[in-house]
Structure formats: structure tokens, C-alpha cells
């Protein structure tokens, strides 16, 4: 049975948008399929709609196709979970502070008690000097600061000479046999001993400045440079050479400085010989501070990675 001209005209003008999904999937019956084909041959709008359905079908097939991307390796996943389980920055900081405190406490027990006693006695001596002599001369406190510039650097330097070294420190071999870095051990002991001496000397200077009305900065500058220089030099020699060499060198420098300024306790810290080489070194200035820092870094980098074998 053939279609009449009127039926053909109706087929060509009636859009077949509802039939396009089934037409594209091949599930449309033969009569309707023929009707859709004849209409698509003459209707640009339906052909555009068919193209959209074809693009949608292609995208659907691509999305549902099996993935060809390789699965992540177990090592990668373990790394991801490790990063997720890692402590946060505040937790890491708190853990680092706790470990540092534990290291400092453990090293405090290994430092020879004589070091604490020597530092305390030196501070008491300087304070007694202030009580006995401060009221008679140098009312601004420079007299006591001059005394501190002689005693504090020597005592601190000698103390630091004995904080690290297998020849006199039986606990060092035990400390270095642990996973803790030798440089951390050295830093912990340096912080304890130097910090103790520095705190005591600063306390005396603060009291003197408050009582006499002198400038705390000016008084502290009289002993700060020599203290840093002699301490770092003594520590560097102790770590790099030996404890006895460090103690002898520190003592010789102190004696030479003392003899270069015989009237130091009477005329102040710089006296009439303030132009001598040792007097220029025995000051607080950028060169002395930089030299002290360089010697300190040398001491830290010279710290052994293992205990030297005793013969």
C-alpha cells in the first residue's frame, strides 16, 4: 500500500523528535523508521536534533567504558595515608619543644657539679665587690662592671672548656651512643652552662644599674663582648683540640689582658692602656661579636659524630 500525496505531505511536515531516541537505538518499528527517514531527508531541524542525540549517546558510551587508567600503587597510597595521619604543625612544634626539654634535663645531670659552683662563686664575688667598693668610687656602677669584665669571661670560658670531651666526661660516651646528634648534645650543654653564667652576670649588672642609676646597656657592654669571645674560643678549642688546651689558652689570654691593664680595678675598664691590642679585643663591638659567632659555629661543626676510640 502506497502513501497518498496528502499523507506524504503530512509526514514531511510533522516533526519526528519523539521517535529519534528509538530511531537512533534501532528499536523503532519498520513503518515508523521509514517515516522518520523520509522526514529527516527534508527537515533540517530534526536532523540537528538527531545530531544532538548522537553526541549524547557517544558521550554516554565513553563515560560508561572501562577505565584504562592504572590503579595507584600501594606505596603511593601508603604515602597519602601517612601524610593524612601526620601531626599538624602545632603538634610538631609542641613535640619538638618537649624533646628539647627532655634533652636539656638529661644533659643537666651529666654536667660536672663544679661548673655550677664556680659560676655561683664568681657571681657572689662580683656582688660582694659591689657591696664593699661600689659605694666609694664609680657611683654609676662602672667599677663593678669592670670587675665583671675580668671575672665573668674567665669563669665562663673555663666552664665551657669542661662541658664536652671524652677525656674528662664519662657521660659523654653514653650520650653519644644514643640516636641524639652530638651537636644537639653540645648545644644543650652550651645552653645550660652559658645561659646560667649569662643569667647570673646579667642579674648582678641589673641590680647595680638599679641601685646606682647607671645605664644597664652601658654596664653590660663592658663584659658582654669579652664573655662571648672567650667562651666561644674556649669551646672551639675544647671540641677541636682538647680540654686542657682550651683552659690554658683561655687562662693565658686573661692573664695577658690583666697585666696589660694593671690598674683596671682603680681606673675603670679601659684605663690608660686602652689602645693596646688586648684592650681593643676586650670590648663589645661588631667585630668581636662576629668573631665570637664564627668560633661558636666552628665548635658546632667540629663536634664528632662518634666517640673517639680510647687507646
Residue 166 within a domain: yes
| pLDDT for res 81 | 65
Q: Is residue 311 scored above 70 in pLDDT? A: no
| Percentage helix, strand, coil for the chain under 3-state DSSP, each rounded to 5 | 75, 0, 25
Q: Count up the domains in the chain and report the number.
A: 2
Residue 91 within a domain: no
| pLDDT for res 290 | 92
Question: What average pLDDT does this structure show over 203-211?
Answer: 88
pTM of the model: 0.60
Residue 68 within a domain: no
Residue 283 within a domain: yes
Question: What average pLDDT does this structure show over 191-197?
Answer: 92
Cα diameter, the chain: 139
75 vs 80: CA distance, rounded Å: 9
Residue 45 within a domain: yes
Task: Choose from 194-198, 237-241, 260-264, 299-303 the range with maximum mean pLDDT.
Answer: 194-198
Domain that holds residue 48: 10-60
Q: What is the dihedral of CA 129, 130, 133, 139, to 10 degrees?
A: 150
Residues 6+ apart with CB under 8 A from 119: 155, 156, 159, 193, 196, 197, 200
| pLDDT for res 25 | 80
Residue 20 within a domain: yes
Amino acid at each position: 500500500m502506497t502513501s497518498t500525496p496528502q499523507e506524504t505531505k503530512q509526514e514531511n511536515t510533522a516533526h519526528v523528535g519523539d521517535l529519534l531516541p528509538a530511531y537512533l537505538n534501532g528499536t523503532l518499528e519498520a513503518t515508523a523508521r521509514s517515516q522518520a527517514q523520509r522526514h529527516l531527508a527534508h527537515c533540517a531541524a530534526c536532523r540537528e536534533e538527531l545530531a544532538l542525540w548522537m553526541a549524547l549517546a557517544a558521550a554516554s558510551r565513553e563515560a560508561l567504558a572501562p577505565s584504562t587508567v592504572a590503579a595507584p600503587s600501594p606505596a603511593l597510597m601508603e604515602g597519602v595515608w601517612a601524610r593524612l595521619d601526620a601531626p599538624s604543625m602545632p603538634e610538631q612544634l609542641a613535640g619538638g619543644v618537649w624533646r628539647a626539654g627532655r634533652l636539656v634535663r638529661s644533659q643537666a645531670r651529666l654536667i660536672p657539679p663544679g661548673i655550677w659552683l664556680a659560676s655561683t662563686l664568681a657571681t657572689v664575688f662580683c656582688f660582694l665587690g659591689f657591696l664593699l667598693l661600689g659605694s666609694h668610687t664609680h657611683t654609676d656602677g662602672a667599677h663593678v662592671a669592670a670587675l665583671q669584665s675580668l671575672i665573668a669571661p674567665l669563669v665562663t670560658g673555663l666552664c665551657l672548656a669542661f662541658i664536652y670531651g671524652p677525656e674528662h666526661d664519662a657521660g659523654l660516651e653514653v650520650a653519644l651512643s644514643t640516636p641524639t646528634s652530638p651537636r644537639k648534645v653540645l648545644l644543650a650543654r652550651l645552653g645550660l652552662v652559658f645561659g646560667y653564667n649569662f643569667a647570673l652576670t646579667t642579674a648582678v649588672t641589673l641590680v647595680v644599674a638599679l641601685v646606682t642609676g647607671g645605664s644597664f646597656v652601658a654596664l653590660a657592654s663592658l663584659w658582654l663582648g669579652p664573655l662571648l669571645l672567650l667562651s666561644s674560643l674556649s669551646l672551639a678549642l675544647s671540641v677541636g683540640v682538647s680540654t686542657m688546651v682550651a683552659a690554658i689558652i683561655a687562662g693565658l689570654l686573661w692573664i695577658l689582658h690583666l697585666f696589660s691593664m694593671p690598674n683596671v680595678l682603680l681606673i675603670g675598664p679601659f684605663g690608660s692602656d686602652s689602645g693596646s691590642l688586648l684592650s681593643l679585643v676586650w670590648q663589645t663591638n661588631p667585630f668581636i661579636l662576629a668573631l665570637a659567632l664564627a668560633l661558636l659555629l666552628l665548635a658546632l661543626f667540629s663536634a664528632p659524630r662518634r666517640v673517639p676510640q680510647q687507646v
